[in-house]
Structure 1
Amino acid sequence: MMTAVNLGARVTGWGFVIFTIGSIAWTVVGLGSGQVSLIAANGFLTFVNLVGIWRWLGRQRAYEDGGRSAKAASRRASSPTLFTATGIAGMAVLDGEGTPLGKAVDALIECRSGAVSYVVVATTATAGIAEQLRAVSREAIVFECDQLVLRMPRHAFEAIPPINPVSWPTSI
C-alpha cells in the first residue's frame, strides 16, 4: 500500500525499505533450505528494491524537498508566490462561489510558450464512484497557493462536456 498510493517520496521510499527487508528475509530462507529459485528470485527483488530506495528516498525526495523549500520561501519573500507544477495534481478545485468541485488531475502545458493550456479536473460522486474528467481552460482558472478556483459557477463547470479518461484533447 505504501508504494501503490503514492503519498510522496518518503512514504514510497519506506515502502521499498519494507520490500527489501522481506526479500532479504526470503533469501535467507532460501539459503537455509537450499532453494536456489527462491534465492535467485529474491536476490533480484532485493536489487530492484534497493534501486527503489535510491530513487524514492534519495533523488525523488531531494526533488520534492527542493520544490517544497522554494514554495515555502516564496510565501515569505517579496517575489511571486510559487507552487510546484507537480503540486497541481491533487490540488482542490473550487467553483466561483468557493464550493469544492473536485481535484486537479494534471495541467497541460504548451511547448512553445510554456503556458498552461488547460487543467483536467476530476469530480466524483459518492465514495469516488463515477469519476468524470473535464478540461478547464487556463483563462477560467485562478491559481492560488493551495487550491484552484474556477472563474465560473458550478452549473457552468458541469456544462463542460466530460473528456475521455484515456484520450485527452489537444486543445479546448
Structure 2
Amino acid sequence: MDSADLAGWIALAATCIAATMTAANLGARITGLGFIVFTVGSLSWTAVALLKGDSTQLLYSNIFLTAVNLLGIWRWLGRQARYEEGGKTAVERSAMRRVPTLFAVSSLAGAKLTGRDDAPLGTVVEAMMRCNGAELSYVVVSEGGVGGVGERLHALDPRELRFSENGVGSDLSAQDLAARPVLTPGDWPATL
C-alpha cells in the first residue's frame, strides 16, 4: 500500500468516526473530540490530494475544512466546555449550601426523564418558557420509537417534574406518560 492509499484509508475512517461523534450530540467534550478527529480526516484528505497531485478541488476544500474543524475544536472544547463547566460548578456548589439547588437549563434538552422507582420514561427534547414571567410553561418529552422514528411527544407541566443535580424525575409511570395527548409536529400548544 502506498502513502496516498494509506492516507486515504485514514481519511475515510477519521471522517466516518468524526461524523458519528458529532451527530450523536453527547456533549461539548465528545463533539469537540469529534472535531479533532475531523481535523485528522481533513489533513489526511489534504495529503491524498498532494500525494496524488490530481485533485485541486480536494486540496482546497480540505484546507478550508481544516480551518472549519479548528474553529469547531475551539468552540466545543474551549468556549462551550467552559460554559458547561461553569453550570456544573454552580449546580455542585448549590447542592452543598443551604440555598435552593440549581439545575443547568442548558442540560434540560436531552436529559433523561425517570418516573416511579427511577424507571426510565423518555427524553426531554424541549422546554417552552413564558416570556412575561420567566418561568417554564411546559416541557416536551419524547417516548417510544428509535432514533426519532415512531417516537411520541408529550407536553408536561413543569410542576409534575423534579429537577435536581441528578436529572429530571417525575411520579408518572410509563403508562401515565403514554396516556397523555400526543403532540403533533409543528402544532404544539401555546400553553397548557
Q: Is the pair's TM-score, using the shorter chain for normalization, greater than 0.5?
A: yes
For the 8 Å contact 1:23–1:46, the answer to whether it is kept is yes
Aligned counterpart, 1:90: 110
CA distance in structure 2 between the aligned counterparts of 1:141 and 1:74, rounded to whole angstroms: 19
Q: Aligned letter for 1:104?
A: V
- Runs of at least 5 residues in structure 2 that lack an aligned partner in the other structure: 1-19
In structure 1, what is the equivalent of residue 34 of structure 2?
15
Preserved contact between residue 91 and residue 146 of structure 1 (Cα < 8 Å): no
Note the alpha carbon deviations across 1:32-70, whole angstroms, 9 max, x for none: 332311211111111111111111111111111111111
Over the residues paired in the alignment, what is the CA RMSD in angstroms?
2.3
In structure 2, the residue matched to 1:4 is 23
Q: Structure 1: which 5+ residue stretches go unaligned?
A: none
Q: Could you tell me the TM-score, scaled by structure 2's length?
A: 0.78
- Would the alpha carbon gap of residues 127 and 51 (structure 1) be closer, same or farther in structure 2, given more than 3 Å must change? closer
Tell me, yes or no, if structure 1 residue 136 matches structure 2 residue 153: no
4+ runs deviating over 6 angstroms? none
Q: Distance in 2 between matches of 1:127 and 1:40?
A: 35
Structure 1 residue 161: Cα displacement: 0.7
Pairing 1:71–2:99 present: no
Counting matched residue pairs gives 172
Deviation at 1:154, TM superposition (A): 4.9
Relative to 1, partners in 2 of residues 1:97 and 1:49: Cα closer, same or farther, differing over 3 Å?
closer
Counterpart residue identity of residue 66, structure 2: T
**Aligned-residue offset at 1:128:** 7.2
Residues 24 and 129 of structure 1, relative CA distance in 2, 3 Å threshold: closer
2:27 counterpart of 1:27 = no
Shift of 1:114: 0.8
Equivalence for 1:112: 132
Matched to 2:77, the amino acid is L
Contact preservation (8 Å) 2:92, 2:165:
no
Aligned-residue identity in percent: 41
Offset of 1:98 from its aligned partner?
5.0
Of Structure 1 and Structure 2, which has the larger fraction of its residues in helix? 2
TM-score, normalised to structure 1, is: 0.87
Match of 2:59 in 1: 39
1:97·1:153 contact (CA, 8 Å) conserved in 2? no
Q: How many Å separate the matches in 1 of 2:28 and 2:173?
A: 36
